[in-house]
């Protein structure tokens, strides 16, 4: 990947998910704390994908910008709220450069397991939104880890097209 800060952010999340798995293993899967740890993992993984996809664009564009452009990017992109959906990713890319969006779509479509990647990302976002809006997602930690692995691939594709 081109963005070392995004790489580190994703590695940190990988490490935290491994820590959560170790805690659950030590507690036992029937411990009443496990659902809370799993919900934490959902929020942590989805948040990492959200901040990563926004940072790929914001970091690239703010390095070249004036103070005003950097401020705008920080306020609207980096610190703004946007679920990390394929649609939002495409919109952000297209807002900056339609060629980025086109390349992203093309590279994502070329992925042999595109459906798995996009379904995993949607499942991660849906689980976070369900929890954030008072629901009780039934996603397991193993699911969260798999969703995160697949969602990271989408961020890698995005990073490759933002040049």
pLDDT confidence of residue 154: 98
By the 8 A CB rule, do 125 and 22 touch? Answer: no
Considering the entire predicted model, what is its pTM? 0.95
Q: Which stretches in the chain have pLDDT values below 70?
A: none
pLDDT confidence of residue 65: 82
Per the listing, tokens 């942590």 go with 44
pLDDT digits (tens, 9 = 90+) for 89-115: 999 999 999 999 999 999 999 999 999
Helix/strand/coil for 83: coil
pLDDT confidence of residue 62: 85
- For the chain, the structural domain boundaries read 4-161
């Amino acid at each position: 990947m081109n963005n070392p800060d995004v790489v580190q952010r994703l590695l940190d999340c990988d490490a935290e998910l491994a820590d959560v798995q170790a805690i659950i293993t030590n507690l036992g899967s029937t411990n009443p704390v496990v659902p809370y740890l799993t919900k934490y993992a959902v929020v942590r993984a989805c948040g990492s994908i959200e901040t990563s996809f926004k940072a790929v664009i914001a970091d690239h564009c703010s390095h070249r910008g004036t103070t005003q452009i950097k401020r705008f990017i920080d306020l609207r992109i980096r610190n703004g709220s946007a679920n990390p959906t394929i649609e939002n990713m495409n919109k952000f890319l297209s807002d900056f450069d339609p060629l980025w969006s086109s390349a992203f779509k093309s590279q994502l479509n070329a992925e042999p397991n595109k459906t798995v990647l996009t379904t995993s990302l949607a499942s991660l976002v849906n689980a976070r939104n369900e929890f954030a809006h008072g629901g009780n997602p039934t996603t397991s930690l193993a699911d969260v880890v798999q969703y995160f692995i697949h969602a990271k691939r989408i961020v890698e594709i995005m990073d490759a097209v933002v040049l």
